[in-house]
């Protein structure tokens, strides 16, 4: 019985090794040109399937004794596999002595509120540090995905878990 189990295990190991093997040329070296060209073709195909529409904004939202926040850009992405996505990218600098949290509230596009189910944004920023905070709006079946044709509005909600008295709600508005 042990011999049969050992034989099956050996066959399984050889089968898995054959699946993961790389091609070698006569000198015994791995043929990386084939592997690189295959990876390049896959990357080109993926870029054909996905398209991006990027709007550079660089709009200062706030610069006070607590925080500096800039709306950097808004990127619309369309992917055959993952669907439509909008990314609203902020650069946030924490000037406080405690960690802050950056979130998005009351998001609207083209005069209509965006369902919170589609939204994702929460970024911690340590004291004296800067970070990229990205609001991601994902398309889900059964929910209205914003076209983002005329305007975008939201509230940048900044607070500290360490100091419950500190909170800032900053309006963000972009017209296209």
**What is the C-alpha separation between 125 and 93, in angstroms, rounded?**
7
Q: Which residues pair with 163 in a beta bridge?
A: none
Output the six-digit token pair for 6.
């050992």
Q: Return averaged pLDDT per consecutive 10 residues of the chain, 176 residues in all.
A: 60 63 52 56 54 92 98 95 95 98 98 97 98 97 94 98 97 95
Residue among 121, 120, 127, 63 at smallest CA distance from 100: 127
30-55 as b/e, with b when 16 or more CB fall inside 10 Å? Answer: eeeeeeeeeeeeeeeeeeeeeeeeee
pLDDT at 51: 78
């Amino acid at each position: 019985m042990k011999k049969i189990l050992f034989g099956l295990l050996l066959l399984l190991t050889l089968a898995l090794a054959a699946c993961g093997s790389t091609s070698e040329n006569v000198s015994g070296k791995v043929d990386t040109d084939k592997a690189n060209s295959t990876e390049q073709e896959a990357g080109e195909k993926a870029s054909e399937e996905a398209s991006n529409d990027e709007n550079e904004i660089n709009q200062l939202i706030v610069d006070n004794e607590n925080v500096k926040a800039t709306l950097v850009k808004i990127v619309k992405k369309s992917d055959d596999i993952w669907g439509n996505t909008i990314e609203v990218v902020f650069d946030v600098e924490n000037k406080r002595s405690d960690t802050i949290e950056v979130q998005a509230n009351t998001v609207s596009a083209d005069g209509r509120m965006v369902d919170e189910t589609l939204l994702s944004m929460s970024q911690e920023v340590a004291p004296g540090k800067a970070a990229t905070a990205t609001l991601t709006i994902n398309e889900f079946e059964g929910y209205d995905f914003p076209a983002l044709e005329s305007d975008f509005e939201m509230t940048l909600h900044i607070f500290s878990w360490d100091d419950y008295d500190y909170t800032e709600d900053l309006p963000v508005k972009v017209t296209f």
